[in-house]
Structure formats: C-alpha cells, structure tokens
Amino acid sequence: MSWSNWKMRAAAGRKGMASLAVGLAVAVAGLGAALPANAQITSTKHNLGTTTGGTGVNKFSGTAEICVFCHTPHGADTSAAVPLWNRTLPTPSSFTTYDSLGTSSLDGKTAPVGSVSIACLSCHDGVTSMSAVINAPGSGTAGDATWQAGTWSGANQSTGKLTTATAGITSIGTDLKNDHPIGIQYGGGGIKVSTPTATTTDPDFKAPKNADMNGTKVWWVDTEATPNGTRQKTDMMLYTRAATAGYTGQTEAEPFVECASCHDPHTTNTTFLRISNDGSKVCLACHIK
C-alpha cells in the first residue's frame, strides 16, 4: 500500500471514529433525556427498596433495587397486561366490583377485575406482601441472602402488606364498591374496535380517540386544551379487552376504563394522577358536566 493510500484510509478511519463518537454522544444524550422518567420513580412512594430519595413510608431492607418490586427481565408473568410483570396476579373473583351496588347511573357493562388493574391490585389489595415477587434479586428466583433476610419497616404495612387502618386509601382492599369503577366499558359502551367510530352510548362522556400502534388499536381521551391527535402519557388511557376477557355477552374487543386510565405509576404527580386534578381536571377529562 502506498503512503498516500495509507494516509487516505487513516483519514477515513478517523472520520469514521469521529462519526461514531458523535453517534454515541447523540445516543447518550437521548438516554439522558429519558433518564428523568426513570429517576421519577426514585423520588416516589413506589421506591420501596433501601435506595434513598423515596418519599414513601414503607421500606424493604432486602435490596437497593427499585424496579424489582414490579418488573423482572426474566421469568415474568406473561398473563399480565403489564410489561415483564414480577408479581403473581390475584384471583379476579376475589374482588367485589362497583356494579354490585346496583346503581342506576352505571350504564356500562363491567368485566371481571383484570387487565392492568389487577396488576396494580397485586400490591394494593392489602392481601399480598409487596416483596412477594416472582423473581427476586440475585441468583435463583428466591433471591440472594440479603433479599431473603430483608424485613419491612413503615407504619403503613404489616409484613409487607398494606393495611387499611394505617395506609388509608392506599390499601384499596378487595372490596371495590367504594372506588371508581374499573374494568368498565368507557362512555356507557357502544365503542367497537372493529368499527372505531369513537362515539359513546352515554352523551355525558367525551368521545375517545384511537390510533393504530404497532399493529394494535389503542384508545385514549385527550386532556390537552387543544388536542394534538397523538396519545400522550398525560392523556386518560383506555385499555382494550378481548371478548374472552370482558363481560358476559361481549362479542369483540372494546376499550375499558382501568386503574391506569387515570394513574401513572411512574409519575411524581400527587397520588400518581396522570394530570393535576385542580379544578377536577381528571374527572372532566372524560365526564361532561
């Protein structure tokens, strides 16, 4: 190889490395932009480990991890409608739902507790310990010695189970009659995934939006004063249930209201609401009053 050719190749190599460095810098910058969303969990009540910064009363001494109480990279419960869920789901029939009150104002069909709601209730039912995970930190699903020797502290729990007497509304329990309906058709029903006209049976509800995302139709209710036509984490989410996971007589997939319609477990907002409820904004995002 001639000296001139070698110089040309060396220069091209340096240029390529420079481009790679720029690419890495952009990638790192992109990660940096995403980090606040991850960091938000650290400074919330959902930070249950020994890591400092969490605002919650309850702490488990067995780990400094944060995500493990809900998620695992391996061995997750694939029946959960939540990514890589690290908890065993409660039995749907163990819950008493709002429709059992027989109120005449409830015009939507109610499905058994499921979807993302049952994942939330795997802690908030007050029955299951918050450290009862499928795959604990360390070697093997049972976890390392530190995890196994871990103990709970904090006034709002008893052996890791949320207690109604001290945790208050955080311990939702298994009787859901006094809580906003979950697993219920949005807007009184009438919205079909196969014919997404985005109309509601009940005119007291705002029409939802829908879009195809990765081959799946997703639904939401816009919270922006001027809707931008795209789904945001600050919108009220609706969750699609197949006919096999819905109410008796359901014939096709429909959007339902679930716990995570109004709550985002990864936000620092008060009570994990998707938006501030000043002026009842959360309620009025869906209800026309």
Summarize the confidence of residues 160-179 as an average pLDDT. 90
Tell me: pLDDT of 175 over 90. yes
Q: What is the average pLDDT value for the chain, to the nearest integer?
A: 85
**pLDDT at residue 211, as a whole number:** 92
In the chain, how many domains are there?
A: 2
Q: Between these two residues, 135 and 197, which has the higher pLDDT value?
A: 135
- Cα 199 to chain centroid distance, Å, stands at 26
Q: Is 217 a domain residue? A: yes
Distance from the first to the final alpha carbon of the chain: 80
Which domain does 18 fall in, by range? Answer: 1-42
Q: Is 195 a domain residue? A: yes
Instruction: Supply the DSSP symbol for 111.
Output: P
pLDDT tens-digit series, residues 214-227: 888 899 999 998 88
pLDDT tens-digit series, residues 123-134: 999 999 999 999
Q: Is 20 a domain residue? A: yes
Q: Is 105 a domain residue? A: no
> What is this structure's pTM?
0.83
Q: Is 172 a domain residue? A: no
Q: What is the DSSP string of 73-87?
A: SSS--TTSSSTTB-B
Q: Could you tell me which residues come within 8 angstroms of residue 84 by beta carbon, excluding any fewer than 6 positions away?
A: 71, 72, 73, 76
Q: Is 35 a domain residue? A: yes
pLDDT tens-digit series, residues 5-25: 433 443 443 333 333 333 333
